[in-house]
Structure formats: C-alpha cells, structure tokens
Amino acid sequence: MADEPQSVGDILDRLDQLADEKDQVALGDMIEAFGHRAYGPFLIVLPLIELSPVGGIPGVPTVLAAIIVLLAAQMLFGRKHMWLPGWLRRRSVKAKRMHKAVAKVRPVGERMDRWFHGRLESLTSGPAVRVAAAASILLAATVPPLELLPFASSAPMLAIAAFGVALLVRDGVLMIVASLLATAALGIGIGLLGSGAGQGS
C-alpha cells in the first residue's frame, strides 16, 4: 500500500507519475497512489480538477461533487479505508489532460506548501475531521445547481480544497480559514441560487 502524501507537491508529483505511466488516469489509480486512508488528498485533488480546464467540461463538476459527498460521508462516519463503487473507480481522465491540469495548479501548490504547515494540530483531528467532512458535504451539495452559473461552482470547491490541505499538512489555522471560506461560499451559493430562482419566476 502506498504511503500517504505529505504535501500538495507530493500529490502533484504522484499524479504526474500516473499520467506518465498510463494513457488514462482513473480514480482507482489515484486511490492506489495516495493510499486507501488518504481522504485529505482527495479533498484537494477533486476540487483542483474542477478548478482546472477539465472542470469546464459540462457535467464534470457535478460528478466530482458526487464523489466528494461519498468520500466525505465516509469520513464523517469514521470509516478508516475509503471505498468507491467499481464504476466510479473506473472514471478516468486522459493523461494529457492530467499533465496540463497538474502544470496549471503546481505554482499554487508550491505556494501552499510554503505557507501552510503544522499549527494548532489539535484542530485537524478528532471532531474537527467530522466538522470538515460535514462542511464538505454541504458545500458539494451546492455544486450541481451552481454549475449552471459561470464559475459559481468554484467557490465551494475552493473551500473544500482548503479543508483538504488543512487535513493533509495538519494546519489548524488553515482549518479555521477553511471554515470561514465554507461559510462565505455557502452564503454566496444560496444567494446566487435565490437570485436565479427569483429571475426565473
């Protein structure tokens, strides 16, 4: 079983390596590369895919959000090893697209690794993990309707990624920031959906 990634750069390196080895990079391949207990990396990778050019493909944000809900629910209930059904494990991205996505986000990842590190580590374990999981579920649930509005689904995905980084590098300060981002993203999302419904009536 693979050792869990220790930094955002480590995650990106493993994705690049997978894209070098395969024509299509499947979710199952990522699980093997990150380790079956590595929830944090997936809370980073899935939102980053949505924030990359791949996320511009219609339907992709909704699929990514559904996977996040499934994984975050397992975190919420304390499941030690992540599980995905076979049809989801087989979902894949072309290696060329993966390389492009990694190249796009690598500068951001390098900055994250410089800025974020172990602070207030007690806020990244125990009940805090379940809070992050519950918030991620709520945020992901707003993505499908927000996908209809240009760039609107990026706000909740950014907040989810912040939770993922906080859990990965055990940074409690970032966990607090992620909670604030989540609150703002939920407020913005509800506001956008409300205004859209009002215009449609």
DSSP state at residue 171: B
Percent of the chain at pLDDT above 70? 95
99-154: pLDDT as tens digits = 888 888 888 888 888 888 878 888 888 899 999 999 999 999 999 888 877 778 88
Amino acid (1-letter code) at residue 28: G
Average pLDDT over residues 76-85: 87
pLDDT at residue number 199: 58
Q: Both tokens of residue 197?
A: 């419904």
**Which positions ≥6 away from 34 have C-beta within 8 Å?**
2, 4, 5, 11, 14, 41, 42
175-197: pLDDT as tens digits = 999 999 999 988 887 877 676 55
